[in-house]
Amino acid sequence: MQESRTLELWVGLFVLAGIAALFALAMKVSNIAVFQSNSGYDVIARFQNIGGLTEQAPVTLAGVQVGRVKSIELDNSTFQAKVVLSINGQYDDLPQDTSASILTAGLLGEQYVSLEPGGMDQKLKNGDEIMLTQSAMILEKLISQYLYQSASKK
């Protein structure tokens, strides 16, 4: 009788550990940062087309994640996408002429914002705007342009 109770206790603990592992995996995959610190600063970048960029998408510099996309909205005056980038506080020395590009991780992977630092002495501050931006490359547009050019050559 005692052995049966001990076995049930171990099975219960094993199931509980499995559920906790699945929960941690789900949080990792969904890019939800529960323990994310709010220290840092926000900068704005405007793009003609953001493609499939979403909120909480990574912001990288030289392949290293330095922040996340905080919000995306349409600017009604310029009809451009206004993307607010939340940069971690430890990267507070980015030059003001830093450029931002929307890239894709792999052929059909998720989209993210990549930063390229410039050479100015002035640094980006909270609320500054990145002036040099490159919109996302839309695969459907590239394919249609190629097909159109191929058809016009014949």
**Predicted confidence band at 37 (pLDDT cuts at 50, 70, 90)?**
low
From 1-5, 45-49, 136-140, the region with the lowest mean pLDDT? 136-140
Residue 143 C-alpha from the chain's centroid: 25
Element (H, E) at 125: none
Place of tokens 């590239």: 142
43-89 pLDDT, tens digit per residue, is 999 999 898 889 989 999 998 999 999 999 999 998 999 999 999 98
Q: What percent of the chain has pLDDT over 70?
A: 90
pTM, two decimals, is: 0.69
pLDDT reported for residue 30: 67
> What is the b/e burial string over 122-150, where b = at least 16 CB atoms within 10 angstroms of the residue's CB?
eebeeebebeebebbeeeeeeeeeeeeee
pLDDT reported for residue 38: 59
Cα→Cα distances 75→27, 59, 63, 115, 123, Å: 31, 21, 29, 22, 25
Answer whether 98's CB lies under 8 Å from 118's CB. yes
